[in-house]
Chains A and B, each alone.
Chain A
């Protein structure tokens, strides 16, 4: 049976892939894909810890809320992206610098 380390390695790979996607992509939707990967990595970590460390249900509930949050975030973020596209005709992240301050 696989141990904690293998899950942590997988979640690390997921996380790093997410980070690289965020860094390397210029399409906002693609950046959001990377974000979903990161959220999945964290949810996976929660479940793994809850099985291997303390074996209670709280890790599951936390992952559940991460999934809920990810869905809500995706909905709102994509709405913003669409709105942005309507105004600027672009999904290029470097065009979204109006709030540079």
Chain B
């Protein structure tokens, strides 16, 4: 039997629910039953190798994380648009239209590769170099992590 109705999505829902339930059951209910619970202030501190933590960890981060995310989302969307075209490529190739689709695909890819090349050229892809010049714009202490 081939299923063509929505039943094919059933295991997905099950798996997702299973993931949620597993965590809820173990963390919320099971912990009440089997786990000890003796909180004290030192235990509840954030771990900083024994030192008392200073300030919150939720402070400013560097822009390069955002730039990475930015380039990623553009390419993510690009691949999302390319999926259907790539899927039909084979059937189109069999009826002799492969060259046309390939050209369209190549133009599409090249335009985005141009964007990547631009970012490369301007140093947006360098994790360290282009960000060393200039102070932190906010003037606040900044968490350095490399």
Report whether chain A binds chain B. Answer: yes
A68 touches B73 (CB 8 A): no
A79 touches B66 (CB 8 A): yes
A71 touches B81 (CB 8 A): no
B80 at the interface (CB under 8 A from A): yes
B137 at the interface (CB under 8 A from A): yes
Contact with B along A44-80 (1 / 0, CB 8 A): 0000000000000000000010011001101100110
**A86: chain B residues within 8 A (beta carbon):** 137-138
**A91: chain B residues within 8 A (beta carbon):** none
A75 touches B74 (CB 8 A): yes
A82 at the interface (CB under 8 A from B): yes
Instruction: A68 to B73: give the CA distance in the assembly, Å.
Output: 10
B66 touches A89 (CB 8 A): no
A72 touches B66 (CB 8 A): no
Instruction: A72 to B80: give the CA distance in the assembly, Å.
Output: 13
**B138: chain A residues within 8 A (beta carbon):** 86, 89
- Given A82-B66, A86-B138, A89-B138, are A74 and B77 also a contact pair (CB < 8 Å)? no
B105 at the interface (CB under 8 A from A): no
**A72: chain B residues within 8 A (beta carbon):** 74, 77
Q: Which of A68, A74, A79 contacts B80 (CB 8 A)?
A: A68
Instruction: A94 to B94: give the CA distance in the assembly, Å.
Output: 59
Contact with A along B43-70 (1 / 0, CB 8 A): 0000000000000000000010010001
Instruction: A37 to B63: give the CA distance in the assembly, Å.
Output: 26
A-B contact pairs, 5 of them (CB 8 A): A74-B73, A75-B74, A78-B66, A82-B66, A87-B137
Which residues does A use to contact B, with CB under 8 Å? 64, 67-68, 71-72, 74-75, 78-79, 82, 86-87, 89
New A-B pairs, 20, CB < 8 Å, besides A68-B80, A74-B73, A79-B66: A64-B80, A64-B81, A67-B77, A67-B80, A68-B77, A68-B81, A71-B73, A71-B74, A71-B76, A72-B74, A72-B77, A75-B70, A75-B73, A78-B66, A78-B70, A79-B70, A82-B63, A82-B66, A87-B137, A89-B138
